[in-house]
Amino acid sequence: MIGGSHLGGRTPKPTLSAQIRDALLQRIVTGELNDGERLVETRIAAEFGTSQAPVREALRELEGLSLVQSRPRHGRTVVSFAEQTIREAYIVRSALEEAATRLCMLRGSASPVVLADAVADMSRCAEREDRAGVGRASVAFHRHIVEACDNRLLQRAWESLQIEARTSIALLVLAPALADVAAEHQELLDVMLTGDVEASCRHAREHQLAYAELPHQVKAHLETAASAR
């Protein structure tokens, strides 16, 4: 079952580095930035009207996603969209979130209020066609469950998957109906509210495994976009 309220609050606004990361991410996965193209920190900083620090942080995150590589005397350059690494990440995430769901259900430590607030944020953002807002609320929903399970090793493993960036890939490239995204999370919450641990774990696992097919869909999307140019 899920228990009392803690870890409350609205979905936080994205940091400047996250905004830069998502802007570059969209350019990479849609082919606007080509394989091998150099990413110059000073130029990116000037474009976004900021210092190089948030740019550097954004590029480090993209490097962790294998979408940017750093080479001596060449700086950072774009890497073609890596299908396999994305698929593997969702498979790992499905296992982590199934475990987190089981632990927090048995402890009664997840807050239905916090989860419902995240779903409400998703619905409001969906009405405004705010794709980035839906992504942030989705991450907040899942992060609460992971934090509520009170397993630091599991939490560190989950965070290492760069959940925000991978969620942005799904929402930016596939452009799913945002109302459907909110509805999927409402279903996850509804099952948790029944107190059925096994059903909740199954839904948590299947929710993530569905996105393991994302690379195939992304590849088809990119090929269609390329042929249209």
Same domain for 95 and 208, yes or no, is yes
Between residues 75 and 102, the one the model is more confident about: 102
Residue 74 lies in a domain: yes
Residue 193: which of 137, 111, 107, 134 has the closest Cα? 111
Between residues 158 and 73, the one the model is more confident about: 158
DSSP characters over 137-156: HHHHHHHHHHHHTT-HHHHH
Beta strands in the chain (DSSP E): 38-39, 68-71, 75-78
The pLDDT of residue 129: 92
Same domain for 30 and 112, yes or no, is no
Q: How many domains does the chain have?
A: 2
The pLDDT of residue 31: 80
pLDDT at 32 over 50: yes
What CATH number does residue 23 fall under?
1.10.10.10
For the chain, what percent of residues have pLDDT higher than 90?
57
Same domain for 54 and 154, yes or no, is no
The pLDDT of residue 5: 45
Last residue of a domain, one of 78, 98, 115: 78
Last residue of a domain, one of 28, 61, 78: 78
Residue 9 lies in a domain: no
Residue 24: which of 36, 13, 33, 16 has the closest Cα? 33
Lowest-confidence segment of 60-64, 147-151, 196-200, 222-226 by average pLDDT: 222-226
Last residue of a domain, one of 78, 104, 123: 78
> Rounded mean pLDDT of the chain?
86
Token pair 């899942």 in the structure block, residue: 142
Residue 163 lies in a domain: yes
Q: What is the pTM of this model?
A: 0.77
